[in-house]
A and B are shown apart, each in its own frame.
Chain A
């Protein structure tokens, strides 16, 4: 596969709030027995229509908190989140969420799972099953529509969750490490599937991840976060050609981006590790 000449890694400027999703100056604190912890500290970014943005950071940087804030599952924070100009202050139809944990409904078949948001929306049965089949085909699960999740592999189940969220036709697809529990090969192949879907639907996507390869493979931009408190450290533009596939991981340009993001992340991950170790020592 041919790739563009190796670009020089550069930090992209944090865009002004002109995207379809605008996260503006978010601060989230949690009370703990040891005092108040600031999980997310003055984080701002915007996602342009059709863009794929990844948020990457070490464990404890507030990625999942950010995911829950944007999805409307966490309230009581400073700052604002707007989708297409509309402020989010709870779960919102414009934002579709795919969770890290396995989240299919085990008592429903694949097609019933995917049709779930359409059923909630009151769509007639024939119509919703037809539409669900479209999204099942999109994630490559044709032939499995009448199976139950227990009969599927972990990767297939995550694709069911993805199809279910896509069936609700959200303006923003929000994913929290959806392939974290899968092996590396499956993760790369599912990355291909996500790229295909992204290409087909022009779906604006925000991916929360700690996997650098995954972030570089899929993203137009990567927002690197600092270890606690979670702040924006840098935004890296990924200038790799589209359409992409997992073959791109062998290219020099890909390796260069991975090295660049790791250079930013390493310092934060080391800090996180050091703090975890010192906490463990204190407990002793």
Chain B
């Protein structure tokens, strides 16, 4: 295959994805202009695009974007540190695991966002509340996937470690953790989705901070194109996060 053909193959999925998105936007635009979708509920995609400049300049988008990004980053760091540590501890200590695993699993499906008044009381109307809400929402997924990853380490690899007389710490760091990394990353990405939803959601609910607060403000002003433009920036935060996480995952678990 020639290099030109190869590069075409490589960019084809991206081009197809972008094309599908643009086609969907075009269909919505046509449906709204034709009066089949109420334009007071759903703004036209062209209006959303036109509002980008206004939202960026007048609503201090950059500062808000950075604030939400920082909150997500803090929640992600807490998830990585505490989620993996708690998961590893629960895997290591059978009693702890048996005593708490069901609770953690139940917490994974609980609507933790409803706990925001409690967090407001504890941490005040601040970024800490938002970060902690994001952290708590993502924690169960990281814990459960860490346990699953560590538990599914192949027995023969553990036996290799035993045959080389590894200490428990070496066994964990040199065999169990690298073996579990792909599963842990799956949990981490899931946790991050919950964290991001909660960060923006709590910003919206307590009307504080970055993009969530902006969406709240714009929605209350009934500036629908601006609201959707702000939502696009939330998606951008998510996209940047996932690109970075996947890059880190590839770097840590490179096998080819």
- Interface contact A120-B174, CB-CB below 8 Å: yes
CB distance from A152 to the nearest CB of B (A): 11
CB distance from A208 to the nearest CB of B (A): 14
Indicate if B231 sits at the interface (CB-CB under 8 A): no
- Interface contact A116-B157, CB-CB below 8 Å: no
- Interface contact A73-B181, CB-CB below 8 Å: no
CB distance from A69 to the nearest CB of B (A): 13
What is the size category of the interface that chain A forms with chain B? 20 to 34
- Interface contact B255-A120, CB-CB below 8 Å: no
Additional 11 contacts, C-beta under 8 A, given A72-B162, A99-B160, A105-B179: A73-B163, A93-B165, A97-B159, A97-B160, A97-B163, A99-B159, A105-B175, A107-B254, A148-B255, A148-B256, A149-B255
Per-residue contact bits, chain A 195-225, to B (CB 8 Å; 1 contact, 0 not)? 0000000000000000000000000000000
Between B160, B175, B255, the greatest number of chain A beta carbons within 10 A of the residue's beta carbon is seen for B160
CB distance from B114 to the nearest CB of A (A): 40
The majority secondary structure among interface residues of chain A is loop
Per-residue contact bits, chain B 158-194, to A (CB 8 Å; 1 contact, 0 not)? 0110111110001000110011010000000000000
Give CA–CA (A91, B163) in the complex, Å. Answer: 5
Within 8 A of B (CB), among A91-140: 91-93, 95-97, 99, 101-103, 105-107, 116-117, 120
- Interface contact A101-B156, CB-CB below 8 Å: yes
* Residues in B whose Cβ lies below 8 Å from that of A91: 162-165
CB distance from B204 to the nearest CB of A (A): 41
Q: How many A-B residue pairs have CB under 8 A?
A: 55
Jot down 20 A-B pairs with beta carbons below 8 A, ordered by A: A72-B163, A73-B159, A73-B162, A91-B165, A93-B165, A95-B163, A96-B163, A97-B163, A99-B159, A101-B154, A101-B156, A102-B156, A103-B157, A103-B159, A107-B181, A107-B254, A120-B165, A148-B255, A150-B256, A151-B256
Total interface residues in chain B, CB < 8 Å: 20
- Interface contact A71-B163, CB-CB below 8 Å: yes
* Residues in A whose Cβ lies below 8 Å from that of B178: 105, 107
CB distance from B234 to the nearest CB of A (A): 34
Indicate if B38 sits at the interface (CB-CB under 8 A): no
Give CA–CA (A151, B254) in the complex, Å. Answer: 12
CB distance from B224 to the nearest CB of A (A): 49
* B contact set with A: CB distance below 8 Å: 154, 156-157, 159-160, 162-166, 170, 174-175, 178-179, 181, 253-256
CB distance from A119 to the nearest CB of B (A): 8
In the complex, which residue of chain B has the Cβ closest to the Cβ of A168? B164
* Residues in B whose Cβ lies below 8 Å from that of A96: 163
- Interface contact A107-B164, CB-CB below 8 Å: no
The 3 closest A-B pairs by CB, nearest first: A97-B163, A101-B156, A148-B255
Within 8 A of B (CB), among A131-164: 148-151
* Residues in B whose Cβ lies below 8 Å from that of A101: 154, 156
- Interface contact A103-B160, CB-CB below 8 Å: yes
- Interface contact A120-B253, CB-CB below 8 Å: no
In the complex, which residue of chain A has the Cβ closest to the Cβ of B177? A107
Give CA–CA (A120, B159) in the complex, Å. Answer: 15
* Residues in A whose Cβ lies below 8 Å from that of B163: 71-73, 91, 95-97
Per-residue contact bits, chain A 68-81, to B (CB 8 Å; 1 contact, 0 not)? 00011100000000
* Residues in B whose Cβ lies below 8 Å from that of A148: 254-256
In the complex, which residue of chain B has the Cβ closest to the Cβ of A102? B156
- Interface contact B160-A120, CB-CB below 8 Å: no
* Residues in B whose Cβ lies below 8 Å from that of A168: 164
Give CA–CA (A195, B175) in the complex, Å. Answer: 31
* Residues in A whose Cβ lies below 8 Å from that of B157: 103, 105
- Interface contact A120-B166, CB-CB below 8 Å: yes
Give CA–CA (A91, B256) in the complex, Å. Answer: 32
